[in-house]
Structure 1
Amino acid sequence: MTYIENYIVIDPTCLIDVLKSIVTSVPIIASLRQGRLTKSDLANIWSSKKFSHFLKHEEYFRQLLVHYDILSEMRRYDRESGKKIYVDCYLVPCMITTQNTSTFVEKHLTTDKCVGFVFEFSATDVPDAIPCRLIASILSIWNVKSYENVDLLYSGFVAVVLDRQHDLVVQTEHNSMAVYIVFKERKELITRDLASCVRECLEQNLARISEVYSLSFTSDNLTKRYVPFDVKLKSGCLSPTCLLDAECKQYRNQLGVCDNHKYVTPKSELDIWYTDRTTLQCTDSCQGILDAVLSMLLNDAQLLRICNSLTKDEVRKMAFHLGVSNTKLDAIGSDSIPMNKFYSLRICREKYKSCKDFIKAMQTAKINRHTMCQVIS
């Protein structure tokens, strides 16, 4: 396999031409309007006289587009086994023009089923590439949710499946991006540290993505944050205007009451995005994981929760004891530490390693095996 770090680009304008080859292909590749592109479609685009020189390094340019979240590999995982299902297709969020006409938002983004927060940009004119790239990075992790036989992927909107009970929704709202976790029954049952893991993962991904554009913005306090966005928590009423600064500690001592609707948001609902994993400890009577569970493969939500409990070095040691080589781990190449940890553990799972294998690797790596208890519970 060809890796992009093995190449040096001496003519940066050729990278612009690579992007141009995708953007200008809508009339030729009709599926691009729905944000889908197969490898054969890409080969056909680059077979034209205008772009034929890209075929000489086809694998390099394809990986480059994936690395910068222009193309997102469509991932499918069996819900029962967690095994990867090969799909010869890329998703291209920046090319999607279809608007969300489903009833999903009306029926499921409700005050009784979901909680949310917002990435609010400090500038009014934010490049479309930023939210598109965040959506692309989300699609590289989780399966798109199918609702009424339609994939919930639209312009500025995506819903993905975290596990059997939790869905993640991201949608663009003016100069912000709203993030919601939806529970199948009611929001009080949302797994607390899963919400915290999702927030941390997306925040660090957005920071990495936005850093490229940070020089385009001005700020009076560049030392506070090199990326021009803030995290704000949504009131339980879910109104776009009822937001609370995540860095404000006042809500931790009292109920959150929005000024516009007088909706009372419980403290626990606001705290859910910043759950302290160190407070989740097993009792002395804990007997570990049930035998019936040990043979199961972990799902993506469980892998993400493990990542939030371990350091990058601990994850790497555990992956090594699960049979993953350093070469394989080094090839991940993600700049985001949470994503690097997540992809490392996903490689382990794709080697069909069970929950029992993970626990054994934890013990070998001198990691408390009870870490898994909180993830499986």
Structure 2
Amino acid sequence: MEQMRKINSLQPVRPLTEEELKVFLKFQHSVGRILYFDEENLDQHIILSPTHLIDAFKSIVTDRRFCEGDTKRLESWNLMNKKGIIEKNSIDKIWKKKRYNKFKDHREYLLGVMTHLDILVEPKRYDKSQTRIPAEFYYVASMVRTNDTTGYLMSPTFTKRNIAIAFSHSSLMIPPALSFRFISYCLSIFAVKKTGQNDEDMLFHRSAIFNIDQSLDMCVNCDDEVIVVRLVHLRNRTLIMRDLATSIRECLAVALEKISQLYVKTSSTDVIASKSSFNLSLCCSSFDDPCFLPMSTIEDQDDSWICPKHGIEHTKDLMSSWDIQKDDDIQCGKSCPVTDTEFLKQIPLDIHFRRLSMQYSINEIKELGMHLGMDYQTWDDLYVTFGEEPERLKFEALRRPFDGSHLSFNDIRKAVEFGKIRTIHCLCKLGFVMSW
């Protein structure tokens, strides 16, 4: 030991480089000694006591009994319990109290961590001119306990308007925490559907209904054994775009695999680590005790599958909507939106960025973003933040050049054309959204 001290004393002391420091902090984070998030706007803070962050979480996400005697906080808790939302000013009021005052000085950082971990999700809101406006609240999916009593799923035409897929975990059990995180992920990407005279959000306990576009909804329902995702068309399921169903399935599958890593212990060997945690099944279009058919057996089916419990026929064409090969060779007619001046003048919404991003690889999105004015530093920052969530990365990278700008669909068309990134007729599918 003495010899080691002598040897060490002869070595010059030098400060760590920024990269070495990050490696050190990430290792300390991985073994639970500190909390450090290598994310944009979060990487300037280090939490030496993880319980500090847990206490901040518990000041918002808590049990009702801890709100007794505090009228304002009880009102906030009831709102989360019923609608799954908490107003931003309610958080400020909670953190002004003596017990939680220590969190007030680090408000932006703590809220940033909570949104990064999908504990809180900030909804996307737009005014009548489609300009982004800040939301006054966060979604808290883990807190909502209200069940769906809207009758949406009980429509007499529901079975004729939806196609469904099911994700079942290889462990045969889906932890509630995984369900909440999955719904939070969907909240960060898709707009929640509204219903009733008061435009109530259709966010419920372990389930939610989202708007894909004006003619298409996505219904997510999680229970202890399976997560069912349904695409529900306004009129008929045969009008659901097949490649869109495939893209959504791929997007959600990647998200589920990433989220499940937080809750399922797996071997570190390459063989096990690369194995999917979820099994995919086709789900029949009945919401009441649905039947399931493993996706791997679809090719062995004849022209259709008649589910055993309900006798509903599902054609092979519809069944394969969830798993088709993308075709870059799109044929368009005279009404192609690429030649429609009014369409090209429009400013894209998040739904358009989402649909367009699903058609491209990460490298293609990077190239497209550069042609739209995104710089390399912005791309690097986005890659660090969303590199493990490819669909989220593509969406954010495509949307970023439009923040605070007046770019339009025509700018996308020019970027695609100039960079020779596939065919400009990828915009035809975005025109489908506008046509409704």
Which deviates more from structure 2 when the two are superposed, residues 112-121 or residues 313-322? 313-322
Do the aligned residues in 1 keep the contact of 2:40 with 2:381 (CA within 8 Å)? no
Which deviates more from structure 2 when the two are superposed, residues 259-268 or residues 90-99? 259-268
Amino acid corresponding to residue 217 of structure 2 in structure 1 = D
Which deviates more from structure 2 when the two are superposed, residues 263-272 or residues 349-358? 349-358
Alignment CA distance shift 1:184-1:122 (3 Å): same
The residue that corresponds to 1:369 in the other structure is: 424
2:275 corresponds, among 201, 217, 225, to 225
The residue that corresponds to 2:176 in the other structure is: 128
Structure-2 separation of matches of 1:261 and 1:106:
15
Do the aligned residues in 1 keep the contact of 2:266 with 2:273 (CA within 8 Å)? no
Which deviates more from structure 2 when the two are superposed, residues 100-109 or residues 133-142? 100-109
Which deviates more from structure 2 when the two are superposed, residues 51-60 or residues 110-119? 51-60
RMSD of equivalent CA atoms: 2.9
Amino acid corresponding to residue 354 of structure 1 in structure 2 = S
Structure-2 separation of matches of 1:301 and 1:271:
24
The residue that corresponds to 2:249 in the other structure is: 199
Structure-2 separation of matches of 1:355 and 1:52:
47
> What TM-score, normalized to structure 2?
0.78
Amino acid corresponding to residue 111 of structure 1 in structure 2 = T
Alignment CA distance shift 1:269-1:301 (3 Å): farther
**Aligned-residue offset at 1:336:** 0.7
Alignment CA distance shift 1:208-1:265 (3 Å): same
The residue that corresponds to 2:367 in the other structure is: 317
The residue that corresponds to 1:359 in the other structure is: 413
The residue that corresponds to 1:12 in the other structure is: 50
Alignment CA distance shift 1:161-1:82 (3 Å): farther
Do the aligned residues in 2 keep the contact of 1:197 with 1:304 (CA within 8 Å)? no
Do the aligned residues in 2 keep the contact of 1:2 with 1:60 (CA within 8 Å)? no
Deviations 1:236-268 (A, max 9, x none): 445544111123343565322223333221011
Do the aligned residues in 2 keep the contact of 1:214 with 1:226 (CA within 8 Å)? no
The residue that corresponds to 1:265 in the other structure is: 314
> What TM-score, normalized to structure 1?
0.89
Amino acid corresponding to residue 150 of structure 2 in structure 1 = S
Higher relative contact order (Cα pairs below 8 Å, separated by 6+ residues): 1
Alignment CA distance shift 1:238-1:272 (3 Å): farther
Alignment CA distance shift 1:25-1:243 (3 Å): closer
Aligned to 2:158, the other structure's residue is in SS state coil
The residue that corresponds to 2:88 in the other structure is: 39
Structure-2 separation of matches of 1:16 and 1:37:
18
Structure-2 separation of matches of 1:276 and 1:349:
30
Aligned to 1:137, the other structure's residue is in SS state helix
**Aligned-residue offset at 1:128:** 1.3
Structure-2 separation of matches of 1:39 and 1:343:
24
Matched, 1:85 2:123: no
Structure-2 separation of matches of 1:374 and 1:251:
31
Do the aligned residues in 1 keep the contact of 2:190 with 2:351 (CA within 8 Å)? no
Which deviates more from structure 2 when the two are superposed, residues 357-366 or residues 231-240? 231-240
The residue that corresponds to 1:184 in the other structure is: 234
Matched, 1:102 2:150: yes
Which of the pair is proportionally richer in helix?
A: 2
Alignment CA distance shift 1:5-1:100 (3 Å): same
Task: State the identity as a percent.
Answer: 26
Matched, 1:115 2:163: yes
Structure 2 unaligned spans of 5+:
1-38, 68-72
Structure-1 separation of matches of 2:272 and 2:157:
35
**Aligned-residue offset at 1:59:** 1.2
Which deviates more from structure 2 when the two are superposed, residues 206-215 or residues 328-337? 328-337
**Aligned-residue offset at 1:276:** 2.0
The residue that corresponds to 1:255 in the other structure is: 304
Deviations 1:182-228 (A, max 9, x none): 111111111222222211111111111111112189xxx8356253x
Do the aligned residues in 2 keep the contact of 1:251 with 1:267 (CA within 8 Å)? no
The residue that corresponds to 2:29 in the other structure is: none
Aligned to 2:171, the other structure's residue is in SS state coil
Aligned to 1:278, the other structure's residue is in SS state coil
Deviations 1:46-105 (A, max 9, x none): 233333222232211111100111000021235x75432321210101011122111111
Amino acid corresponding to residue 260 of structure 1 in structure 2 = K
Structure-2 separation of matches of 1:236 and 1:99:
21
**Aligned-residue offset at 1:14:** 2.4
**Aligned-residue offset at 1:107:** 1.7
Alignment CA distance shift 1:134-1:42 (3 Å): same
Structure-1 separation of matches of 2:306 and 2:274:
28
Aligned to 2:296, the other structure's residue is in SS state coil
Which deviates more from structure 2 when the two are superposed, residues 204-213 or residues 306-315? 306-315
Structure-2 separation of matches of 1:224 and 1:344:
27
Which deviates more from structure 2 when the two are superposed, residues 240-249 or residues 177-186? 240-249
The residue that corresponds to 1:281 in the other structure is: 330
Structure-2 separation of matches of 1:198 and 1:83:
26
The residue that corresponds to 1:55 in the other structure is: 104
Do the aligned residues in 1 keep the contact of 2:284 with 2:307 (CA within 8 Å)? yes
1:294 corresponds, among 340, 344, 369, to 344
Aligned to 1:185, the other structure's residue is in SS state coil
Alignment CA distance shift 1:317-1:223 (3 Å): closer
Larger Rg belongs to: 2
The residue that corresponds to 1:139 in the other structure is: 187
Alignment CA distance shift 1:185-1:234 (3 Å): same
Aligned to 1:96, the other structure's residue is in SS state coil
Amino acid corresponding to residue 186 of structure 2 in structure 1 = I
